[in-house]
């Protein structure tokens, strides 16, 4: 049972301020008057609060709107230049560092190629730190103007006193990326699984906008999912919820790379799918190989649709989301060609009531949203606390 924290009058302010900020962030420019309706706060409170936020330069004015026969409304908006956030995508083949302003407009980016099986954690950490310096220089932003760094990594991210990462494919077994980052930068660091950061990006800025209950599935060579309940990502007790790929969907099915049998990933993951279609294991350009397989069609593709639809149907029955997003490079390729068939399979395999409450759509942000989603972790913290800048410099 989650016990609530002790609250004091100042928490009221913090909460209301965060709500106002979120309203303005997602609800476009608004006048103070409109904000009273949108937030439920009194005009007096809106006035003092916007006054604070304006003088802190978190908000800015954004023109006027004449109202017939009265004082014109002054529009307010979040100041996109108030601060910046950095997002990092650590993938099998590259490390990408991106700089965004508060509105998630990309200001600079840098890519580092990783040689396969050269995933030494120290090397990766050095790349990230170097990348931060590069994007700051390219974007002409100082570290003081940055709220923090979000990092999306593969594998399981164990959040404790020290953030530890377990990623079999990288040979990472409890590597302390958090500590390594803190040793190299004073910026606040947020680390999470890459599939989850991508889910976060879709939820905030992509096809998941506004959904309180959603599942974002990510199909690449592996398969994962982000479960959103009541507007928040479900993390589970050790932050490893969302391992959808190794759901058994066939009791004595195909051998999966995890060593088990009948995993969903062995059927719909790109690796398993290509193997089933007879694509040679040494193929390197998986996306084009997958494209050819999908164009050719046939039983393997039909089966894939069936397995994917059935897997999604299971999610709908269990979690009753209002929206399901299909993402990841392979997921998008399959979805673009077969979304309608997938919907049919889902309908056949889920209960009527929850099925009718769900819409199944493709992700909007493409496979590159991992870094953006990671940066979103920082943004989320900012919108919740609206912590003043340079707090991190002090600590």
Partner DNA sequence: GCCGTTTCGTTTACGCATTGAACTAACATG
Partner DNA sequence: CATGTTAGTTCAATGCGTAAACGAAACGGC
48 binds DNA (CB under 7 A): yes
35 vs 141, beta carbon nearer DNA? 35
DSSP string, 274-318: HHHTT--TT---HHHHHHHHHHH-SHHHHHHHHHHHHHHHHHHHH
Residue with token string 């593709």? 301
Q: At what angle do helices 369-385 and 9-26 cross, to 10 degrees?
A: 140
Q: In which element (H, E) is residue 167 found?
A: strand 164-167
Closest to DNA by CB, 43 or 393: 43
Q: Does 348 bind a copy of itself (CB under 8 A)?
A: yes
44 binds DNA (CB under 7 A): yes
Query: What's the closest the beta carbon of residue 2 comes to DNA, in angstroms?
Result: 19
145 near a copy of itself, rule: CB under 8 A: no
Binding mask 241-280 for a copy of itself (x = CB under 8 A): xxxx-xxxxxx------x-x--------------------
Q: 229 is in the binding site of which of DNA, a copy of itself, none (Cβ under 5 to 8 A by kind)? A: a copy of itself
Out of 152, 272, 321, 373, the residue judged to bind a copy of itself by CB under 8 A: 321
Least separation in angstroms between residue 56's CB and DNA is: 14
Among 2, 4, 70, 295, binds DNA (CB under 7 A): 70
Q: Which of residues 22-61 bind a copy of itself (CB under 8 A)?
A: 22-23, 26, 39-41
38 or 289: whose CB is closer to DNA?
38
Asked whether the beta carbons of 193 and 159 are under 8 A apart, the reply is: no
Contact between 77 and a copy of itself (CB under 8 A)? no
Rule CB under 8 A: say whether 344 interacts with a copy of itself: no
d(CA 358, CA 364): 17
Stretch that binds DNA, among 70-78, 207-215, 219-227, 247-255 (CB under 7 A): 70-78
Which residues make beta-bridge pairs with 78? 59
Contact flag: residue 116 with a copy of itself (CB under 8 A): no
Q: How far is the CB of 314 from a copy of itself (least distance, A)?
A: 5
31 binds, among DNA, a copy of itself, none (CB under 5 to 8 A by kind): DNA
Are 334 and 308 within 8 A, CB to CB?
A: yes
Window 21-40: residues binding DNA (CB under 7 A): 31-34, 40
Contact status: 4 vs a copy of itself (CB under 8 A):
yes
* Among 12-20, 119-127, 151-159, 338-346, the segment contacting DNA (CB under 7 A): 12-20
* Sign of the CA dihedral with 151 first, then 156, 159, and 165 last: negative
Q: Is 213 in a helix, a strand, or coil?
A: coil
Of the candidate residues 43, 183, 318, 357, the single one contacting DNA (CB under 7 A): 43
Closest CB 213 distance from a copy of itself, rounded Å: 4
Residue 115, H or E segment: none
In 3D space, the residue among 152, 181, 186, 156 whose CA is nearest the CA of residue 169 turns out to be 156
By the rule CB under 8 A, 240 interacts with a copy of itself: yes
* Binding site partner of 204, from DNA, a copy of itself, none, Cβ cut-off 5-8 A by kind: a copy of itself
Q: Among 205, 307, 329, 382, indicate the residue that binds a copy of itself (CB under 8 A).
A: 307
Residue with tokens 């004091």: 8
Supply the angle between the helices 32-39 and 43-55 in degrees, to the nearest 10. Answer: 120
Q: Does 170 bind a copy of itself (CB under 8 A)?
A: no
Find all residues with CB under 8 Å of 304, minimum gap 6, and list them: 267, 268, 273, 276, 334
CA dihedral over 272, 249, 240, 98, signed as positive or negative: positive
Q: How far is the CB of 283 from a copy of itself (least distance, A)?
A: 27
236 is a site residue for a copy of itself (CB under 8 A) = yes
Report d(CA 299, CA 280) in Å as an integer: 18
Count Cα neighbours of 152 within 13 Å in the Cβ-side half-sphere: 29
DSSP 334-354: HHHHHHHHHHHHHHHHS-HHH
47 touching DNA, by CB under 7 A: yes
Using the minimum distance from each CB to DNA, give the nearer residue, 13 or 213.
13
User: Which residue in this structure is represented by tokens 């100082």?
Assistant: 142
Distances in Å between the Cα of 213 and the Cα atoms of 196, 322, 351 are 15, 6, 17
Please report, as ranges, the residues that interact with DNA according to CB under 7 A: 6-10, 12-13, 16-17, 31-34, 40-51, 64, 66-74
């Amino acid at each position: 049972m989650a016990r609530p924290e002790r609250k004091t009058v100042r928490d009221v302010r913090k909460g209301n301020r965060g709500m106002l900020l979120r309203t303005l962030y997602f609800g476009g420019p608004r006048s103070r008057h409109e904000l009273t309706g949108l937030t439920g706060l009194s005009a007096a409170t809106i006035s003092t609060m916007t006054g604070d936020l304006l003088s802190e330069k978190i908000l800015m004015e954004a023109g006027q709107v004449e109202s017939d026969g009265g004082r014109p409304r002054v529009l307010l908006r979040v100041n996109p230049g108030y601060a910046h956030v950095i997002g990092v995508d650590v993938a099998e083949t590259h490390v990408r560092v991106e700089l965004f302003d508060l509105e998630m407009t990309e200001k600079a980016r840098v890519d580092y190629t990783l040689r396969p099986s050269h995933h030494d954690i120290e090397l990766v950490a050095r790349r990230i730190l170097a990348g931060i310096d590069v994007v700051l220089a390219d974007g002409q932003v100082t570290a003081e103007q940055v709220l923090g760094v979000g990092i999306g990594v593969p594998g399981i991210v164990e959040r404790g006193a020290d953030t530890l990462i377990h990623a079999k494919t990288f040979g990472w077994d409890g590597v302390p990326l958090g500590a390594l980052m803190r040793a190299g930068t004073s910026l606040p660091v947020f680390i999470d699984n890459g599939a989850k950061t991508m889910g976060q990006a879709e939820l905030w800025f992509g096809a998941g906008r506004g959904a309180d209950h959603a599942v974002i599935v990510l199909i690449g060579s592996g398969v994962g999912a982000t479960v959103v309940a009541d507007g928040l990502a479900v993390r589970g007790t050790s932050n490893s919820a969302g391992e959808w790929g190794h759901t058994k969907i066939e009791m004595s099915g195909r051998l999966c790379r995890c060593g088990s049998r009948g995993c969903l990933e062995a059927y719909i993951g790109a690796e398993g799918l290509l193997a089933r279609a007879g694509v040679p294991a040494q193929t390197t350009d998986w996306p084009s190989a997958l494209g050819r397989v999908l164009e050719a069609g046939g039983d393997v593709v039909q089966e894939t649709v069936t397995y994917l639809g059935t897997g999604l149907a299971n999610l709908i029955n269990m979690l009753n989301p209002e929206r399901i997003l299909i993402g990841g490079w392979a997921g998008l390729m399959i979805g673009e060609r077969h979304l309608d068939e997938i919907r049919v399979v889902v309908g056949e395999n889920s209960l009527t009531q929850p099925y009718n409450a769900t819409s199944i759509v493709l992700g909007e942000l493409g496979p590159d949203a991992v870094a953006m989603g990671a940066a979103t972790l920082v943004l989320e913290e900012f919108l919740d606390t609206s912590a003043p800048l340079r707090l991190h410099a002090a600590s």
